[in-house]
Chains A and B, each alone.
Chain A
């Protein structure tokens, strides 16, 4: 409980103090909390770019098996023959993985900083004025998204969770069939729906917050920032949630 009272040091203009030896620019920046928020925002933007591209690409589910499976093949053949098959896809995957790791590492670091900053909690209930559910649950929504992503990979990329509880087995290259088979399991469909709503909640705050973290603040566009985040989050949720619902409703089937 004890907190040390600070002793008052001599009054100096420390901005003109002795020169520090500087670390490499990015490491120097990332070692600060404001720098970690830049990392958070930049990796968040990259993940947002991925999520929107992923959602739009998946809309080809509605055009039928040939279209979506052809699209899946197209991704593997990006920039062929300039690059060998799947090389560009792997570069994108590694980039995405690095962004996710950065995002999680920064979130972890900031959480520790924030814990330390209030070592003794308020002993009476707080009455929050404007902090909303989304902003106060970023850590939890983030962890749920991470667990969901692992399931999603096991289900539709690696496939070992795809065969569980279904009659068939995972068919590499038949994205359409794998998705339909997976979502025909009602608990799995519900899992996808819930997880994507959680992603929407994360983005509802994150897609607004990133403007502040990046220092993007201007009276000309400030009023659009809230709308952008709400719109982006809604778009992602609507598209992604539509797939399990369409499969359960029989609109998309094998």
Chain B
């Protein structure tokens, strides 16, 4: 096990939503290269607490890349320098000694800062509530293989379903758009037979809820590069297509009622 030495962390400190905030530099003299980025912050926080200072607030939960709670803009890249990796799975061996590492919270109007590096990402939940569900019969659990799904379709739906809802796509997007997130949620259900009943009400409602909070897509592709699950921007094209269809079809079904 080797160690990194002499790191400078330039971390965004902000006491609350209404504070202007500022960067503050902290020295980390020595840290194991096997530590994760968040563990390094833990070590720093322990020291700060011992010194009677306030710990740096940051979001984390599972620390195994599946819950989507961690975040952080590390040296200007969402989730840091390693592709397809959430911050909690990023290890210090990806860095070198004697460097400065800049850590900033996600920045988007839809993600207001609660404190320091912690942001409120509830807007993503609002989008899911608008249509990220299916209608299922209650009663006895059906057999798993009752509804056949073609393998390529199942694979594509599962790729989209990998989204952990961390918001890195919004953070990375120069426009602060949530199209990759919403596209993934829509694609996941719209490809599967179980999702067909609400396919078009879902597309319309989720896109319009998304637009209440976030920007628009210029197809830069930054979201795909930042996504810890490497979800493809293909899901955005599918969302666009289904949104247009929904605008036509939903009018038709409306005129029948």
Contact = CB atoms under 8 A, between A and B. Distances in A.
Given A5-B112, A136-B220, A213-B240, A117 B131 contact: no
Interface string B219-257: 111101110000001101111111110011001001000
Given A12-B129, A120-B107, A208-B219, A32 B208 contact: yes
Interface string A175-207: 000000000000000000000000000000100
B76 A124 contact: yes
A215 B237 contact: yes
A6 B122 contact: yes
A254 interface: no
A6 B221 contact: no
A136 B133 CA distance: 35
Contacts of A34: 207, 211, 216-217, 239-240, 243-244
Contact of A8 (B122, B207, B216): B122
A136 B222 CA distance: 11
Interface residues of B, number: 71
Given A5-B112, A124-B102, A217 B237 contact: yes
Contacts of A15: 130-131, 198, 201-202, 204-205
- Among B211, B218, B220, B238, the most chain A Cβ lie within 10 Å of the Cβ of B218
Contacts of A121: 107
A178 to B, nearest CB: 38
A212 B219 contact: yes
A28 interface: yes
Contacts of A11: 129
Contacts of B133: 13
Interface stretch (B30-38, B49-57, B87-95, B173-181): B173-181
A interface, by DSSP: helix, strand, loop or mixed? loop
A48 to B, nearest CB: 16
Contact of A118 (B120, B215, B224, B241): B215
A33 interface: yes
A1 interface: yes
A130 B224 contact: yes
B184 interface: no
B77 A212 contact: no
Interface in A146-183: none
A138 interface: yes
B253 to A, nearest CB: 11
A2 B21 CA distance: 10
Interface stretch (A78-86, A108-116, A238-246): A108-116
Contacts of A33: 211, 215-217
A119 B221 CA distance: 21
B86 to A, nearest CB: 16
B25 to A, nearest CB: 12
Interface string B99-110: 000101001111
Contacts of B243: 32, 34
Given A2-B18, A212-B240, A217-B234, A29 B209 contact: no
A1 B240 contact: no
Interface of A: 1-6, 8-9, 11-16, 19, 22, 25, 28-29, 32-38, 110, 113-114, 116-131, 135-136, 138, 205, 208-209, 211-217, 222
A-B interface, 10 closest residue pairs, ranked by CB to CB distance from nearest? A215-B241, A117-B215, A217-B237, A117-B176, A127-B76, A33-B216, A3-B112, A129-B225, A131-B220, A114-B175
